[in-house]
Chain A
């Protein structure tokens, strides 16, 4: 009696797992917010994810099915004695080569995405961002995101200029906290720093995640092709406030105009209403 129980026990959970996997996209359990990534690279990453999930599901069903069958068949037969096997060379070869082949296939298939995501070549402008794509420097600190944009209208032409800009404050820089504006449908380059401990810049909707290491300025680049606001969270445990280290990334058509608005607010002297300051914003400070 208990044997049947355990057979069913070990069969039912994989079935539940498969059912949950199958319905999860429809139930929005699969990916946060939108089911589709908001960046083209993110979409490719999602495709990879589904490919691998598919391969693994097939394998899973196959092996679990075989295991269940064997358990069932074997449990009914109480008289048969176990027999000693000297191994089967053919079988060993098959179940080494086939998985190796599958893994090799996956490794090669994703090389391209990895290269685009992680490898950039300053000299080769076909791969990687151009200096002119620089949008902001984001400094992660406990427990907020401090953002510095270069003065509106600044166009960087070499990475050396970017490094010089990152090194210290410059006149006209626009500062913000927890709210990052990026281009819509244009390459965005961000440099990530940390003011104190390790953090991680994680925007799930964009499929972007990058650890912030103290002492380093790490570049992150992406193109957002959906307008909207995206959650920015910290993905590296950084202290007791890690859970509340939230920000917002917003992709806007006209980034220049938005930054100009921020700059006007930042230059407010209490008397002269800057041209584009929205009414009622006078007491709203930028950090």
Chain B
């Protein structure tokens, strides 16, 4: 009991004391009002700038401001998006004609099957000089489109064509915030609130940072971006073995909207990046000092040539994304997969360990992703400095390990076509190169071999021991002396020895072609 406060009396006590509230009660009352203050704070989603913008701000605020302003003008904010026509994004466009106009209400006839919710989409009235307005609401029954501007839309005669732009972008943004933002971040930088929980394992891939426009698992040729189909597939099927889950049950229209928004974020990020490259001479030096000739550089880069750089960035980005969807840029084998028999797998194995193409140097003799090249220290291509620790890095400078082919987990898909694509075009943004100059038959041998490793084992491990897929305790550790495995390419590998004989009762009956080992 706080001294100085009076105890509460039960009913029937002195009425004069009933109406007295002690200090304690006042404090409790105030605390009770806390829910009003704490409440469900409205989460304000905002795009975050690239990390380098803060450094740019210290030397040239003009450049930083121009950069952020131009991004704002051309992409907007998550609550006020901008649909920029220079980008190859399907914002969701509905065409129509104005039938009559009164004040800010237009009676329109829209083509196709417009979605019911058209609030806050952009309305482009194709008058002599196109006018941009915003829709406040649309009533499908009366076909009245209400604009948000209160003043009359001038010079809108009946028959003026109009376009409603942005419903798909809105849907994409809403769905992205709901499903994707918590890992991939509001800006698509792979740094959402839950991304930090993925950082615990050294090689766990982090959520994709879209801002380079690079996506790993694509069906396109080396050097091309991811197609819409690739992005759709990644969202639908997930990436096996990573934290990217499968959204199999999502509605196809919603899936399309999400993919468009992801491309929107990727393009925004890439344009920001390219503008930062253009403004790179204005960044502070390593000692933190402003660069020499700051004034003239600033005038040249941040003022005179800035718009040109922006237009250039936009056209490059647009071209990159458009070319990714062109059918001629897909990797399609010209020959069918060679029969998946022991001979082919042995050929694949020999190619795999051959130093002519050096697969095993990264993927390891046993395919466990622990090859010798991992011991080298790589150079950062952006700074020409060595990375601090040995190992391979991806385009985001994160440690990356070659795939452990014994795991049976294929992030990009386990179809023979998918593995063929990985071998032919490589994996974008990683050291995995495209082996397009290896003849296609050889590539199919490698595919057959790779797909057989989780089941039949990789034939030989670093010690020259044979092991039977999965159950192996030798591989994976470092041993003091290196085995230089220069097995000549055409040495016939021994037939894998008999497994401890499978009792007939232990083998399920199957009507399918048995694995290679059963051909005895």
Residues of A within 8 A of B (CB): 142-144, 146, 150-158, 160-161, 164-165, 167-172, 175, 177-179, 239-241, 244-248, 265-272, 283-287
Q: Are A269 and B249 in contact (CB under 8 A)?
A: no
Alpha-carbon distance A144/B236, docked complex (angstroms): 11
Residue in A152, A286, A287 whose CB lies within 8 Å of B512: A152
Q: Are B420 and A155 in contact (CB under 8 A)?
A: no
Q: Does B182 contact A (CB under 8 A)?
A: yes
Expressed in whole angstroms, the minimum distance between the Cβ of B12 and any Cβ of chain A is 13
Among B229, B249, B334: residue with most chain A CB under 10 A: B249
Q: Across the interface, which residues of B come within 8 angstroms of A155, CB to CB?
A: 508-510
Known contacts A240-B182, A268-B417; decide if A157 and B509 are in contact (CB<8 Å): yes
Q: Are A272 and B336 in contact (CB under 8 A)?
A: yes
Q: Are A271 and B334 in contact (CB under 8 A)?
A: yes
Known contacts A160-B506, A165-B508, A240-B182; decide if A285 and B237 are in contact (CB<8 Å): yes
Q: Does B515 contact A (CB under 8 A)?
A: yes
Alpha-carbon distance A161/B245, docked complex (angstroms): 31
Residue in B237, B249, B505, B511 whose CB lies within 8 Å of A287: B237
Q: Does B337 contact A (CB under 8 A)?
A: yes
Expressed in whole angstroms, the minimum distance between the Cβ of A170 and any Cβ of chain B is 6
Q: Which of B131-139, B155-163, B408-416 contacts A (4 or more CB under 8 A)?
A: B408-416
Q: Are B509 and A154 in contact (CB under 8 A)?
A: yes
Q: Does B396 contact A (CB under 8 A)?
A: no
Q: Across the interface, which residues of A come within 8 angstroms of B417, CB to CB?
A: 268-270
Residue in B418, B452, B512 whose CB lies within 8 Å of A154: B512
For window 480-520 of chain B, which residues contact chain A by CB distance below 8 Å? 505-515
Q: Are A161 and B415 in contact (CB under 8 A)?
A: no
Q: Across the interface, which residues of B come within 8 angstroms of A153, CB to CB?
A: 510-512
Known contacts A146-B240, A241-B245; decide if A157 and B508 are in contact (CB<8 Å): yes
Q: Are A267 and B415 in contact (CB under 8 A)?
A: yes
Alpha-carbon distance A266/B417, docked complex (angstroms): 9
Expressed in whole angstroms, the minimum distance between the Cβ of A235 and any Cβ of chain B is 17
Residue in B233, B246, B508 whose CB lies within 8 Å of A178: B246
Expressed in whole angstroms, the minimum distance between the Cβ of A230 and any Cβ of chain B is 12
Q: Are A271 and B337 in contact (CB under 8 A)?
A: yes
Residue of B nearest to A284 (CB): B233
Alpha-carbon distance A174/B393, docked complex (angstroms): 33
Q: Across the interface, which residues of B come within 8 angstroms of A245, CB to CB?
A: 245
Known contacts A170-B515, A177-B238; decide if A157 and B469 are in contact (CB<8 Å): no
Alpha-carbon distance A36/B125, docked complex (angstroms): 55
Residue of A nearest to B503 (CB): A160
Q: Across the interface, which residues of B come within 8 angstroms of A156, CB to CB?
A: 508
Residue of B nearest to A142 (CB): B243
> Looking at chain B's contact residues, is the secondary structure mostly helix, strand, loop, or mixed?
loop
Q: Are B219 and A283 in contact (CB under 8 A)?
A: yes
The 12 listed contacts between A and B (C-beta, < 8 Å) are A152-B512, A154-B511, A161-B507, A179-B248, A268-B415, A269-B416, A270-B417, A271-B336, A271-B337, A285-B233, A285-B414, A287-B410
Q: Across the interface, which residues of B come within 8 angstroms of A269, CB to CB?
A: 333, 336-337, 415-417, 420
Alpha-carbon distance A28/B507, docked complex (angstroms): 48
Size of the chain B interface, CB-CB below 8 angstroms: 49
Alpha-carbon distance A248/B505, docked complex (angstroms): 34
Residue of B nearest to A248 (CB): B249
Q: Across the interface, which residues of B come within 8 angstroms of A171, CB to CB?
A: 452, 455-456, 512, 514-515
Q: Across the interface, which residues of A come within 8 angstroms of B335, CB to CB?
A: 271
Among B332, B333, B416, B514: residue with most chain A CB under 10 A: B416
Q: Are B420 and A270 in contact (CB under 8 A)?
A: yes
Expressed in whole angstroms, the minimum distance between the Cβ of A287 and any Cβ of chain B is 5
Given contacts A169-B408, A270-B333, 9 further A-B contacts (CB under 8 A): A154-B512, A157-B509, A171-B455, A248-B249, A267-B416, A271-B333, A272-B336, A287-B246, A287-B413
Q: Are A151 and B246 in contact (CB under 8 A)?
A: no
Alpha-carbon distance A110/B362, docked complex (angstroms): 60
Q: Are B508 and A144 in contact (CB under 8 A)?
A: no
Expressed in whole angstroms, the minimum distance between the Cβ of B429 and any Cβ of chain A is 20
Q: Does B73 contact A (CB under 8 A)?
A: no
Alpha-carbon distance A158/B502, docked complex (angstroms): 14
Q: Are A154 and B510 in contact (CB under 8 A)?
A: yes
Q: Are B179 and A285 in contact (CB under 8 A)?
A: no
Q: Does B43 contact A (CB under 8 A)?
A: no
Expressed in whole angstroms, the minimum distance between the Cβ of A5 and any Cβ of chain B is 15
Known contacts A177-B240, A240-B197; decide if A169 and B454 are in contact (CB<8 Å): yes
Q: Across the interface, which residues of A come within 8 angstroms of B512, CB to CB?
A: 151-154, 171-172
Q: Are B332 and A270 in contact (CB under 8 A)?
A: yes
Alpha-carbon distance A192/B219, docked complex (angstroms): 33
Q: Across the interface, which residues of A come within 8 angstroms of B245, CB to CB?
A: 142-144, 241, 244-245
Q: Across the interface, which residues of B come within 8 angstroms of A161, CB to CB?
A: 505-508
Known contacts A157-B508, A172-B512, A177-B238; decide if A286 and B413 are in contact (CB<8 Å): yes
Q: Are B510 and A151 in contact (CB under 8 A)?
A: yes
Alpha-carbon distance A154/B249, docked complex (angstroms): 29
Expressed in whole angstroms, the minimum distance between the Cβ of A68 and any Cβ of chain B is 24
Q: Are B179 and A244 in contact (CB under 8 A)?
A: yes
Q: Are A164 and B506 in contact (CB under 8 A)?
A: yes
Expressed in whole angstroms, the minimum distance between the Cβ of A232 and any Cβ of chain B is 10
Alpha-carbon distance A152/B510, docked complex (angstroms): 8
Residue in A144, A168, A271 whose CB lies within 8 Å of B469: A168
Q: Are A154 and B246 in contact (CB under 8 A)?
A: no
Q: Across the interface, which residues of A come within 8 angstroms of B240, CB to CB?
A: 146, 177, 287
Q: Across the interface, which residues of B come within 8 angstroms of A143, CB to CB?
A: 245
Q: Are B509 and A265 in contact (CB under 8 A)?
A: no
Expressed in whole angstroms, the minimum distance between the Cβ of A28 and any Cβ of chain B is 22
